């Protein structure tokens, strides 16, 4: 049954205090829950309905007396109650059998919890909804030698020994919180600690808890946390509000991490790093995720969501905050632009397809069957773009004022997306956001990616240049017709010689002559005219990707080459290169010969120019020289033949590798490491470009039969002083299917057999390798039989299954349908073990209806096969039924 946003009603009861006592045991954990509750006098009197899930209920006392209650499904219902009372519940649960990893579970002999969104009900009966906020005190009791560390939210107020080798710890959280922010951890862990002083002189203890062997991989996470604390205080005036802030890592986790108040729990993937085991990308992800969870302490914990339809209130805002954090840590504008390009690439390759597919939903959805399915790139990344547009409309300082007002108004409350937008607008009453607020909020209510079409008109006689804009948005499930959005378009004009032109806006004669202007679209059609233009200019539109839209402009190749060589906006400079490549890819795909890459001299020379440009950073070059992904190319087509897309993509890669051979050699030599390893943007950019060069050199060798570069690559693989260089070398051998790859893979496994996160990379690389005659599926089946494989560990399951089904289109989309059949078996197999992971995998065929035959029918059949299973989880049921409906 679907939950609908419009059905929201305040809770009939409040919980003021919660006193929890745990006797932790993997097979049978006892939970004593004492709550002070009171009737909400603002709503009509109703029975008390508490949520539960897979609990054994032993006792229910109201004010110390046995009370009559009944069960309705998973809910515990009490009909007759006084207005104020104490409720005591005693339940047990079985953490060791909790493979769903929601609620209380065991990972490598340590207890962890994950309560967002609805996991707390699997620990005790509760009003498990975010608008019920209570004060918690928690007593943990367990065997002392097996579970020496006992953690929960807030401050440790008491601890000591108990009879029979047991001990206890008592924690009190000074802040009220919703149940989804509850956490406990118990096990054998060690911590890196750091004391820091805040601006006001107050001391805080920061801790990063890991298993004993991993302490040497916690320095970067700790540094990221220290930077996060300082940044939130400096940029937004938001201080750390706790004496102690803890991060704990677990290797069994459905998501990336969780912002439990004062006790963040992380997937090891986003904590552990040293130069031998983690790549530059890992370092950068750790910085983002540590920041993200820390920033939730305000945007999420101090001010939370009224209901789960408001999820983007905290997630969109917090992604925006972590993106800004990472940009602000960059030393220069080029590194900031690289981060922006990377973020946009994620949005366009993952969120745009979601917004065009059967799971499309607004940033603030209207209904769901299983909320876990809505932790999506739309809620997170598109939500962050909506917040970014607000910042664009009110300015950076105005946005900071808005954030201040938001936290002043709503501190301690559970609020809505409307409350957020209102606060930003109210703090900036003269802004365009304030003037356009109701229309702006369509970004929250309407799904789908808007398409902006722009056309230029140059009038030589009048010396004017006019841009005519129109906007539209395709229908999405349940929303046939869309109203116009508020779309900020940052733009500038270049002369044919590449100079940037001063902008004289018509109708705004005395405005200063800026070089960049943000036009705010509000209508289906509108225009802007610039004066004093001496010749046909080249417009640079949607600079910095100022809105999450598809921009259609009929650029000539010549104009794109001008932008690629000259645009002062690095985002659009990169974008021009992507457009040139995309145009060639689409022509080759829809043209007569599928293996003709069709990269012409003009394109090759332009790429050479970027690669050799002494003024550009390596990181930026790497982005420009990387072709658009097969997924992104496929989104531009109405009908997708995945094998043809793959063949063209491979042919383009090979051609770029061969045509720029000596340039790649030069780039490889130019970007060698000097000195000690550091994951900063400049040196990681150099490693990224030398890695791309190596990949191209091995690809070129594949075509020419050259053995020198594969040999050098193997040597590089063996000698590398850090995981980035080592993995890039291994990747180059695997992606060119060189015979030396086998030797390198075996050596890699032997070197890192005890490093789970590295073994994940080993699996993932093989499952994601380019298909040569259908060889990847048999390999993937082999990998699942490997002694290191486990379906129950989400990271490991993803490293094989998702790497094949979601990240390897050329191998997955087989004309014999064997990839789809295998996919459906894996969804069916995973579903009873871990519905969240299964439902995520179920989305691999979201875009089935775009596929050409025979893929389309085969994919549909595979989805139908999953949907026909009895006893599917709500999670997977919702995904496959939407796929079949849409």
Which entry of ligand ARG, Zn ion, none binds 425, CB below 5 to 8 A by partner kind? Answer: none
Please give the Cα distance from 106 to 97 (Å, whole number).
Answer: 8
CB of 256 to Zn ion, least distance (A): 8
Helix (H, G, I), strand (E, B) or coil at 880: helix
d(CA 206, CA 213): 20
Please state whether the peptide bond connecting residue 56 to the residue before it is cis, i.e. omega within 30 degrees of 0: no
> Cα 723 from chain centroid?
23
Helix spans in 347-467 (H): 352-356, 377, 383-394, 396-410, 417-426, 432-440, 442-445
Cβ closest to ligand ARG, residue 114 vs residue 684: 114
Say if residues 762 and 727 touch (Cβ distance below 8 Å).
no
Nearer to Zn ion by C-beta: 277 or 378? 378
Nearer to ligand ARG (CB atom), residue 115 or residue 447: 115
Question: Smallest distance, Å, CB 853 to ligand ARG?
Answer: 35
Task: Classify residue 244 by burial, with Cβ atoms within 10 Å: 0-12, 13-18, 19+.
Answer: middle
Distance of alpha carbon 529 from alpha carbon 368, whole angstroms: 45
The partner in contact with residue 626, picked from Zn ion, ligand ARG, none with C-beta cut-offs of 5 to 8 angstroms by kind, is: none
Token pair for 293: 């969870």
User: How many residues sit close enough to Zn ion to count as binding (CB under 5 A)?
Assistant: 2
**Backbone φ and ψ of 252, nearest 5°:** -115, 105
Instruction: Of 779, 784, 752, 759, give the one whose Cα is nearest residue 768.
Output: 779
Question: What is the closest distance, in whole angstroms, from the C-beta atom of residue 220 to ligand ARG in the complex?
Answer: 19
How far apart are alpha carbons 112 and 474 in whole angstroms? 43
The partner in contact with residue 258, picked from ligand ARG, Zn ion, none with C-beta cut-offs of 5 to 8 angstroms by kind, is ligand ARG
Q: Report the partner that residue 117 touches, choosing among Zn ion, ligand ARG, none (CB closer than 5 to 8 A by kind).
A: ligand ARG
The nearest distance, CB 759 to ligand ARG, in angstroms, is: 24
The interface mask with Zn ion, positions 259-298, x = CB under 5 A, is: ----------------------------------------
Tokens of 544: 């910095």
Q: In angstroms, give the least distance from the CB of 259 to ligand ARG.
A: 5
290/547 with CB nearer ligand ARG = 290
Exposure b/e, 351-382, CB count within 10 A at least 16 = b: bbbbbbbbbbbbbbbbebbbbbbbbbbbbbbb
CB of 8 to Zn ion, least distance (A): 22
* Least distance between Zn ion and beta carbon 314 (Å): 7
Contact partner, 128, from ligand ARG, Zn ion, none, Cβ < 5-8 Å per class: none
375 binds, among Zn ion, ligand ARG, none (CB under 5 to 8 A by kind): ligand ARG
**184-187 β-sheet, strand order:** 103-107, 110-114, 184-187, 149-152
| Shortest distance, position 428 Cβ to Zn ion, whole Å | 26
For the chain, give the longest Cα–Cα distance. Answer: 95
- In the bound complex, what is the minimum distance in angstroms from residue 288's beta carbon to ligand ARG? 11
Burial of 71 (0-12, 13-18, 19+ CB in 10 A): exposed
Q: Does an H or E element contain 540, and which? A: strand 538-541
Residue nearer to ligand ARG on the CB measure, 314 or 826: 314
| Residue 157 C-beta: closest distance to ligand ARG, Å | 27
611-614 long-range contacts (CB < 8 A, ≥24 apart) are 611/660, 611/663, 611/664, 611/667, 612/663, 612/666
Task: Name which of 228 and 372 has its Cβ closer to ligand ARG.
Answer: 372
Q: Which neighbouring-strand residues pair with 528?
A: 467
Q: Respond yes or no: is residue 829 known to be catalytic.
A: no
Read off φ and ψ for residue 499, nearest 5 degrees: -65, 145
257, interface contact from ligand ARG, Zn ion, none, CB < 5-8 Å by kind: ligand ARG
Shortest reach from residue 340's CB to ligand ARG, in Å: 21
Rank residues 257 and 880 by Cβ distance to ligand ARG and give the closer one. 257
Q: Which residues bind ligand ARG (CB under 6 A)?
A: 116-117, 254-255, 257-259, 292-293, 315, 372, 375
The DSSP-derived string for 16-60 is EEEEEEEE--SS-EEEEEEEEEEE-TTS----EEEB-SS-EEEEE
Cα 221 versus chain centre, distance: 18
Closest to ligand ARG by CB, 375 or 664: 375
Out of ligand ARG, Zn ion, none, what residue 546 binds, judged by CB under 5 to 8 A for its kind, is none
In this complex, which beta carbon is closest to Zn ion, that of residue 301 or of residue 695? 301
Positions 313 through 352 that interact with Zn ion (CB under 5 A): 315, 318
How far apart are the C-alpha atoms of 173 and 216, rounded to whole Å? Answer: 30
Smallest CA-to-CA distance from 800 within 760, 841, 839 is with: 760
Residue 255 interacts with which of ligand ARG, Zn ion, none, CB < 5 to 8 Å by class: ligand ARG
DSSP 6: G
The item of ligand ARG, Zn ion, none sharing an interface with residue 307, based on CB under 5 to 8 Å by kind, is none
Alpha-carbon distances, residue 394 vs 303, 405, 431 (angstroms) = 22, 14, 6
Q: How far is the CB of 116 from ligand ARG (least distance, A)?
A: 5
Distance of CA 144 to the CA centre of its chain: 38
Please report how close the Cβ of residue 372 comes to ligand ARG at its closest, in angstroms: 4
H or E element, residue 159 = strand 155-162
Name the residue nearer to Zn ion (CB basis): 270 or 603: 270
Structure tokens at 17: 């205090």
Catalytic residue among 293, 315, 385, 559: 293
Name which of residues 301 to 320 contact Zn ion (CB under 5 A): 315, 318
Nearest to 665, CA basis, from 691, 694, 688 = 694
Rounded Cα distance between 472 and 452, Å, is 7
- The residue (of 380 and 620) whose beta carbon lies closer to Zn ion is 380
CB nearer to ligand ARG: pick between 367 and 590: 367
For ligand ARG, give the closer residue by CB, 317 or 467.
317
When CB distances are held under 5 to 8 angstroms depending on the partner's kind, the choice from Zn ion, ligand ARG, none that residue 355 binds is none
Q: Extract the tokens encoding 826.
A: 């894996």
584 closest CA partner among 613, 553, 612, 560: 560
Indicate which residues carry an active-site annotation.
Answer: 293
Residues that bind Zn ion (CB under 5 A): 315, 318
């Amino acid at each position: 049954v679907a939950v609908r946003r419009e059905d929201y009603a305040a809770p009939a009861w409040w919980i003021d205090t919660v006193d929890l006592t745990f006797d932790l045991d993997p097979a049978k954990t006892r939970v004593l829950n004492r709550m002070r509750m009171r009737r909400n006098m603002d709503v009509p009197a109703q029975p008390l309905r508490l949520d539960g899930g897979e609990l054994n209920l032993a006792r229910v006392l109201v004010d110390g007396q046995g009370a009559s209650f009944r069960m309705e499904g998973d809910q515990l219902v009490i009909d007759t109650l006084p207005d104020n009372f104490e409720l005591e519940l005693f339940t047990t649960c079985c953490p060791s059998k909790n493979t769903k990893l929601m609620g209380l579970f065991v990972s490598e002999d340590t207890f962890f919890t994950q309560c967002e969104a609805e996991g707390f009900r699997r620990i005790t009966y509760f009003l498990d909804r975010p608008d019920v906020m209570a004060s918690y005190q928690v007593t943990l009791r367990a065997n002392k030698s097996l579970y020496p560390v006992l953690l929960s939210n807030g401050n440790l107020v008491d601890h000591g020994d108990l009879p029979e080798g047991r001990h206890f710890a008592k924690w009190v959280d000074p802040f009220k919180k919703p149940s989804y922010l509850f956490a406990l951890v118990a096990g054998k862990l060690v911590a890196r600690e750091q004391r820091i002083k805040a601006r006001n002189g107050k001391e805080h203890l920061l801790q990063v808890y890991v298993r004993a062997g991993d302490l040497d991989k916690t320095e970067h996470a700790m540094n990221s946390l220290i930077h996060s604390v300082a940044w939130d205080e400096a940029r937004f005036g938001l201080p750390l509000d706790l004496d102690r802030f803890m991060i704990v890592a677990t290797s069994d986790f459905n998501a990336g991490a969780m912002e439990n108040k004062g006790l963040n729990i992380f997937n090891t993937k986003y904590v552990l790093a040293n130069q031998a085991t983690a790549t530059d990308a890992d370092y950068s992800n750790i910085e983002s995720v540590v920041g993200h969870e820390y920033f939730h302490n305000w945007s999420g914990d101090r001010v939370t969501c009224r209901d789960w339809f408001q999820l983007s209130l905290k997630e969109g805002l917090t992604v925006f905050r972590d993106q800004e954090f990472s940009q602000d840590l960059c030393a220069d504008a080029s590194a900031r632009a690289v981060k922006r390009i990377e973020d946009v690439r994620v949005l366009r390759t993952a969120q745009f397809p979601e917004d065009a597919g059967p799971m499309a939903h607004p940033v603030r959805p209207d209904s769901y069957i299983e909320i876990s399915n809505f932790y999506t790139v739309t809620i997170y990344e598109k939500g962050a773009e909506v917040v970014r547009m607000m910042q664009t409309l009110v300015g950076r300082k105005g946005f900071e004022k808005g954030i201040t007002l938001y936290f002043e108004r709503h501190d301690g409350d559970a609020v809505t997306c409307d409350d957020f937008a209102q606060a930003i607008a109210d703090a900036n009453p003269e802004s365009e956001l304030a003037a356009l607020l109701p229309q702006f909020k369509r970004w929250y209510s309407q799904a789908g990616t808007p398409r902006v079409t722009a056309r230029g008109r140059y009038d030589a006689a009048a010396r004017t240049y006019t841009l005519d804009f129109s906007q539209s948005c395709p229908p999405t499930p349940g929303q046939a017709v869309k109203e116009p959005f508020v779309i900020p378009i940052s733009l500038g004009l270049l002369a044919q010689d590449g100079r940037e032109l001063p902008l004289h806006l018509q109708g705004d004669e005395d405005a200063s002559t800026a070089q960049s202007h943000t036009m705010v679209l509000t209508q289906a059609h509108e225009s802007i005219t610039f004066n004093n233009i001496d010749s046909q200019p080249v417009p640079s539109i949607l600079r910095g990707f100022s809105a999450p839209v598809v921009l259609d402009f009929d650029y000539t190749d010549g104009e794109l080459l001008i932008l690629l060589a000259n645009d002062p906006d690095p985002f659009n400079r990169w974008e021009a290169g992507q457009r040139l490549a995309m145009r060639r890819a689409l022509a080759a795909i829809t043209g007569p010969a599928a293996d003709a890459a069709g990269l012409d001299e003009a394109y090759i020379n332009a790429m050479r120019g970027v690669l050799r440009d002494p003024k550009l950073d390596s990181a930026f070059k790497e982005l420009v020289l990387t072709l658009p992904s097969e997924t992104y190319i496929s989104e531009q087509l109405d009908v997708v033949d995945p094998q043809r897309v793959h063949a063209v993509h491979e042919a383009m890669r090979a051609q770029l590798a061969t045509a720029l051979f000596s340039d790649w050699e030069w780039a490889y030599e130019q970007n060698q490491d000097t000195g000690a390893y550091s994951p900063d943007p400049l040196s990681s950019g150099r490693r990224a470009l030398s890695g791309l060069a190596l990949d191209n050199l091995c690809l070129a060798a594949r075509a020419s039969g050259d053995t020198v570069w594969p040999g050098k690559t193997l040597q590089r693989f063996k000698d590398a002083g850090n995981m980035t260089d080592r993995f890039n070398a291994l990747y180059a051998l695997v992606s060119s299917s060189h015979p030396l790859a086998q030797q390198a893979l075996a050596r890699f496994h032997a070197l890192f057999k005890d490093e789970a996160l590295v073994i994940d990379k080993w699996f993932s690389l093989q499952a994601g390798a380019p298909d040569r005659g259908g060889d990847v599926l048999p390999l993937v089946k082999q990998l699942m039989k490997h002694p290191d494989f486990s379906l129950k560990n989400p990271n490991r399951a993803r490293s094989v299954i998702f790497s094949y089904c979601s990240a390897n289109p050329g191998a997955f989309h087989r004309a014999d349908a064997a990839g789809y059949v295998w996919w459906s078996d894996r969804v069916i197999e995973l579903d009873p073990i871990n519905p969240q992971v299964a439902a995520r995998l179920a989305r691999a065929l979201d875009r089935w209806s775009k596929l050409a035959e025979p893929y389309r029918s085969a994919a549909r059949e595979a989805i139908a096969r999953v949907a026909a299973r009895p006893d599917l989880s709500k999670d997977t049921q919702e995904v496959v039924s939407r796929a079949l409906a849409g």
